[in-house]
Chain A
Amino acid sequence: VSNGYLFVQEQTLRFLPLFHILISGKGLIMTKSAQLAPTLLSQMDEEIDTRKINNSFLRDHNYATEADIISTVEFNPTGELLATGDKGGRVVVFQREQESKNQPHRRGEYNVYSTFQSHEPEFDYLKSLEIEEKINKIRWLPQQNAAYFLLSTNDKTVKLWKISERDKRPEGYNLKDEEGRIRDPATITALRVPVLQPMDLMVEATPRRVFSNAHTYHINSISVSNDYETYMSTDDLRINLWNLEITNQSFNIVDIKPANMEELTEVITAAEFHPNQCNTFIYSSSKGSIRLCDMRASALCDNHSKFFEEPEDPSNRSFFSEIISSISDVKFSHSGRYLMTRDYLTVKVWDLNMESKPLETYQVHDYLRSKLCSLYENDCIFDKFECVWNGSDSVIMTGSYNNFFRMFDRNTKRDVTLEASRENSKPRAILKPRKVCVGGKRRKDEISVDSLDFSKKILHTAWHPSENIIAVAATNNLYIFQDKVN
């Protein structure tokens, strides 16, 4: 797959009043990060509904810990920024350290750039149900000016955030003094022109758009179109198309809700726009199928242009067949020629031109096939793992249990299992490949299936768009690894 992966840094997010960064053995970086400290607090526009209720007691005492669980990870298109969203509705953006000649080994390290509360918990009074503030997805917009834009969404509402730097401020106002207090006009004897003076770098995040009230069901995906003007948001039964500028209307382009909810047997699990063709998108279902739709064909894309589904293997049939075939994530390759799907036990690569079966199938953790009943019992079988491509579409990566994640090289057909854990990660240490022992004698470094920790699951990973740098979210810890450079 590569020469081997280095542990670069680990960032632990803690729910403390002061944002706290833990980086193993990198005291120097901690100091530097403190200077760059995310001072931002988001300035809410008036249009944002600030109705709040005190939600802290709606959760149990584990609130503080649970809020830190990372729920999404995403690099921006250049790889300079890395955004994470967590269960507490916060977004933390990391920025890559600039390369400097003095410290070439520091390349690839990410420091906190901005932190903001993207979503707040809400209460749906009509249904008497809570709306979680957990960030389900973050998608970056391509950069068009000095500011960065990202879309973040919880179950019901998508928000467009602008992250910008401010390193100058105007000084020398006539009507107010340096602290902002209004000056007594009688004391003003001369006029001056305010000048911009340098100030400490401040990174601000402001919500620019709020796209709400368009989804009855829980949003699971957002995807920005290649035209950079529109994006789509997907819930369990519908897909809506938005214009980034317009928040009070959206177009419904897919609706699979049956007239009679009793007949509901299939839901949408993920959707994505084609990277190069703004009229094409795909969506996956809980029955293991993928539909490709062309928006030019009709306004409502209930009829697909292509339908990808692999016929079921009768020898593997069980009561859990449908559940494990449910697709948890779907991603186009960067080239747009392939698409990748993740179901419970496998990752599959499909050629857009072949609908009958996948091009390649990779077993992520087939040793769990005999444990499906237990995994159904403890609900692990419903875990939604994501999958990612590397920049060149030659390697794919996905997570597993016990903080393991897997990489598959499509060309060499080699695969590797790595672990994201503090014990095994010392700075600059090379990750050791792990192996799960299925039966029989367990070798020294292997771990047996029964010893796997199913509470430690890696659902979210991200790959730098052009380099071999990966971000792996393990519960409330973010690990960043990079390819060893000789």
Chain B
Amino acid sequence: MFPKGTKRKFSDSREEPVAGGEDVNQSSLAAVRMLSSYSLQRQSLLDMSLIKLQLCHMLVEPNLCRSVLIANTVRQIQEEMTQDGTWQIMTQALSAANAAAQCSADRLVATEVLCRQTEAAQGEQVPKPFPVVGSEGCPAEEVLEEEEAAAAEVGMTMSTVSPQAPTSYLPGTFGMDPCWEEEETGEDDDDDEEEDSEECGSGSEGEERERDSLVEDTRTAEQVFGTFEIKNPAPSPDPALEELFSDVDASYYDLDTVLTGMQSVPKMGPYDLLESLSSHGPSPLSSSTSCRSDLNELDHIMEIIVGS
């Protein structure tokens, strides 16, 4: 059981934490060392990298060089995992879990995420980074409950199990998202991109859950670098997308239209993921998708409108 308020910090096996002094949960570290140290380190590195890629959707355009380097690292890990067979296990477990839980598209990460990790026979926990449309209100309590349930099961391993309905979180664009709040109560909201990724990145180590994602390589890379291109809004005859947007708050659209002068539905950048959604089969956008960062974005956009 993880005591609240402490973060489990990823540390190299033979070094001390860098200046900053985060708490290390001793018991879990010992357990971690019991398992294959290398593959776990590799797994953690993968987690970290995926989180970093997801946090690209800031107000300012992300650094392309950094994104490319992280994506290359992820690719490298993936290649290595493919070679020693771990990759196959993961993808199989992934599709199995997906079929069971009936929540494929919901588990889509902002599609920058290459893969999800799982240990052996364990299922997936969910939080998917999903910067999204829709301001239905954040069922933070629901999310927290599930997280807690998951955390309770954690024990010594890195991944957690939850066959339940998907919960989700948003990378904290302007602050920590609700999932993290439970663990990191002292974190400040900070618009600084670096700090955000740092916080969320280190927060991810504290969390025992794994990120969920379901995309192939190609789509991932495209999504990562997609924000740098202006794409033509894709026509969406796909009924799945209609369902998706049925949840969307109309007032948000108005702001969006006013701001960008674009009538098209998907706002570029954070919403590139919608393109991947369409290819992964229809599935209603879970109303439990957190929208905390959405609300923050809304506030900022409102200020822009009002300020001008």
Contact = CB atoms under 8 A, between A and B. Distances in A.
A354 to B, nearest CB: 27
B261 A374 contact: no
B230 A127 contact: yes
B111 to A, nearest CB: 12
B14 interface: yes
Contact of A267 (B48, B64, B226): B64
Contact of A322 (B76, B229, B259): B76
A129 B59 contact: yes
Interface stretch (B17-25, B27-35, B146-154): B17-25
A133 B264 CA distance: 29
B60 A128 contact: no
A53 B307 contact: yes
A379 B228 CA distance: 21
A149 B42 CA distance: 51
Nearest to B11: A374
Interface residues of B, number: 62
Interface in A39-80: 53-54, 57-60, 62, 66
A382 B11 contact: no
Contact of A127 (B19, B61, B222, B300): B61
Contacts of A260: 222
A454 B194 CA distance: 13
28 contacts: A54-B304, A57-B307, A126-B230, A127-B268, A128-B260, A129-B60, A132-B60, A237-B64, A261-B228, A262-B222, A264-B68, A264-B221, A267-B64, A319-B45, A322-B69, A322-B72, A322-B73, A371-B12, A373-B10, A374-B18, A376-B48, A377-B10, A377-B48, A377-B198, A378-B20, A379-B201, A452-B18, A454-B18
Contact of A382 (B18, B66, B189): B66
Contact of A60 (B12, B16, B192, B227): B192
Contacts of A237: 64
A58 B300 contact: yes
B57 to A, nearest CB: 10
A450 B192 contact: no
Question: Chain A: interface residue count, which band?
Answer: 35 or more
A319 B66 contact: no
A72 B66 CA distance: 20
B19 A453 contact: yes
A261 B225 contact: yes
B15 interface: yes
Contact of B45 (A124, A373, A375): A373
A436 interface: no
Given A129-B269, A262-B221, A378-B198, A371 B18 contact: yes
Interface in B163-216: 189-192, 194, 197-198, 201-202, 205
A217 B225 CA distance: 11
A77 B161 CA distance: 64
B83 interface: no
A206 interface: no
Contact of B64 (A53, A58, A236, A379): A236
B99 interface: no
B216 to A, nearest CB: 10
A326 B194 CA distance: 19
B26 interface: no
Nearest to B218: A262
A269 interface: yes
B174 to A, nearest CB: 9
Given A217-B64, A261-B225, A319 B269 contact: no
B187 to A, nearest CB: 14
